[in-house]
Amino acid sequence: MPTIHAFAAVHPKAHLAEDVVVGPFCQIEEGVTIGPGTVMESHVAIKRNTTLGARCYVAQGAILGGDPQDKGYKGEETFLVIGDDCVLREYVTVHRGSREGNVTRVGNKCYLMAYCHLGHDVTLHDSITMANGVGVSGHVTIETMANIGGMVGVHQYVRIGKYSMVGGLSKIVRDVPPFMLVEGIEQQVRDINAVGLRRLGVSAKDRLALHKAAKLLFKSQLGLTHALDIVRREVPHTAEVEYLIQFQERLFKGKSGRGDQP
């Protein structure tokens, strides 16, 4: 049976795997599902319609599955789904979706440090790392293995590309290109995320192609259409360059600076 502290409150219609550990003063509401091996420290609140995967660690004071901070929310049935092997540190807050049936999703192996906040309808892919105090607004999508520095604020509907790095204290109001290092109030693209790409095993030749594409797209002062044409003609079409081109082409499809906004 789960290990539940005597001072915890677990609703009888919550579903906990056999080896879940629930610390003192935790509150687990109706309709919650918690996977095997997950541990919750003290004063954790898991709100209704939340699914928490296997082998997660939830630190003191975290609140998962709270009502969305959306003036249009009228009590509809919405959901939060968190994957396996996630670490949610002290006082992390994650809200459910904002409209009937909507889901806030957190992938596998995500690491959210203390005081991070994910708003309603956010989607995190796998292996996201967020440093302390990151605030993510509603409807944001963050792709695989992005790394977000401390105290970053992310505007609603923004998409942050995979394997990118956002420097601490940055203001993110536009989409962040994949594989890039971005920082500052003006959200400047500094260069490719070279260290991260090396760790991922991207070859020096492929990193050089991506660096050349980045210079044309973000440093040349060319218009985006012209810069993309030059990248297509002059830069080797590695897998990373192709994905970068596709990501930037989304700007022509009504997605500029606001991620997945309808």
120 is catalytic: yes
138 given a catalytic annotation: yes
Question: What's the residue count for the chain?
Answer: 262
CA distance 105 to 120: 9
Residues 120, 125, 139, 155: which is the catalytic one? Answer: 120
Strands of the sheet with 93-95, listed across from one edge = 9-10, 27-28, 45-46, 63-66, 93-95, 117-118, 135-136, 153-154, 171-172
Q: Is 226 a catalytic residue?
A: no
Distance CA 21, CA 52 (A): 13
**3-state percent helix, strand, coil for the chain, nearest multiple of 5:** 20, 25, 55
For residue 67, the 8-state DSSP code is P
- Catalytic annotation, pick one of 85, 121, 125, 139: 121
Residue among 35, 97, 107, 138 flagged as catalytic: 138
Which positions are annotated as active-site residues?
Answer: 120-121, 138
